[in-house]
Amino acid sequence: MAEIYLNEIAHGRSGDKGDTSNVCVFARKPEYYAIIAREVTPETVHRHFGDMVKGEIVRYDLPSLGGFNFVMKHALGGGATMSLRLDSLGKSMGSAFMRMKIHVEDGEI
């Protein structure tokens, strides 16, 4: 078993709607979809972000696109101009997400 960054097997993009951040996460290869489904859950994502994300996290599964959509509420310090963060629009939430450490079995990737 090995610990890797999610970035190695996934890619995606973050967007903002008010104080809600969405991050779409796609498998870099079709066989990685199952690993992401297993390792990247609302619970593990919440643990990764800690108090950076204050609200609920919902995962939507999109097997036909080989990916997932994560919707994270109260994740942008207020959102848009209200946020005091440098990245008030959460443009880097996508890369922050991909920094999550996940576990893969030997031979899985």
Partner 1 sequence: MKKVAIGGGQGFWGDSPDAAIHMIRRADIQYIACDYLAELTLSIMAKQQIKDPSKGFAPDFITRLLKEAGKEAWQKKIRICTNAGGMNISGCVSAIREWAAAEEMKGYKVGYVTGDSIKEKIPQLLKEGWTFPNFDYDGDFNSIVDKIYNVNAYIGHEAIEQCLEDGADVVVTGRAADSALFLAPLAHEFGWLDNDWDNLARGIMAGHLLECGGQGAGGNFMYDWRSVPHMEDLGFPIAELTEDTFEITKAPDCGGLISEQSVKEQFLYEVLDPANYLTPDVNVDISQATLTQVGPDRVRVGNIKGKAKPKDLKLCVGYHKGWKTVSMLSFAWPDAFEKAQYCADIIMKKMKKRGMKADDVHISYIGVNSLHLGVADTSEKAMKDLNECVMRIAVFSEDKSECAKIIPEISPLQLNGPPGASFFGGRAHVQEVMALWPTYVPRDVLDIQAHIQEV
Contact positions toward partner 1, by CB under 8 A? 11-13, 15-20, 22, 24, 26, 28, 48-52, 58, 60, 62, 64-65, 67, 69, 71, 73-74, 77-82, 84-87, 91-92, 94-96, 98-99
CB of 57 to partner 1, least distance (A): 12
What distance in Å separates the CA atoms of residue 41 and residue 36, rounded to the nearest whole number? 8
Give the ranges where 1-109 is alpha helix by DSSP (H): 33-39, 42-49, 93-98
Integer Cα distance of 12 and 1 in angstroms: 25
Task: Give the span between the Cα atoms of 66 and 81, in whole angstroms.
Answer: 34
Q: Give the residue with the Cβ less far from partner 1, 16 or 102.
A: 16
Return the number of the residue (41 or 83) whose C-beta is nearest partner 1: 83
